[in-house]
Amino acid sequence: KQEVTQIPAALSVPEGENLVLNCSFTDSAIYNLQWFRQDPGKGLTSLLLIQSSQREQTSGRLNASLDKSSGRSTLYIAASQPGDSATYLCAVSSILMDTGRRALTFGSGTRLQVQP
């Protein structure tokens, strides 16, 4: 059974700090991994998508890495800003063993607060 864990569950940092969010998954047979941002009570916004054959993706101040063999991904946020405050979720696309069909499995997220 695919399980996705995100550490830490919550994080508070002063503005300007560089930070790393962690995501781990138990079944390394994934098709891709995505990082999302969710503001309170809102839908999800896709930040970065890493295919299983890739090692990292970058978009602006965000960099995501993927180590499939160890079942880990990190999201690096450079020079954090108060506007980065949100919950960050990672999700992996893989085959669910009990249904034999593709599914997307999410972690519970890291709630980030950037203090001005």
Partner 1 sequence: ETGVTQSPTHLIKTRGQQVTLRCSSQSGHNTVSWYQQALGQGPQFIFQYYREEENGRGNFPPRFSGLQFPNYSSELNVNALELDDSALYLCASSRDRGLAGELFFGEGSRLTVL
In the complex, the residues that contact partner 1 under the rule CB under 8 A are 4, 6, 31-32, 34, 36, 41-46, 49, 51, 89, 91, 93, 96, 98-99, 101-109
Minimal distance, residue 34 CB to partner 1, in Å = 7
Our CB check for partner 1 shows the closer of 14 and 41 to be: 41
Which CB, 18 or 51, lies closer to partner 1? 51
How far is the CA of 66 from the CAs of 36, 41, 88, in angstroms? 15, 29, 16
How far, in whole angstroms, is CA 111 from its chain's centroid? 11
Q: What is the widest separation between alpha-carbon atoms in the chain?
A: 47
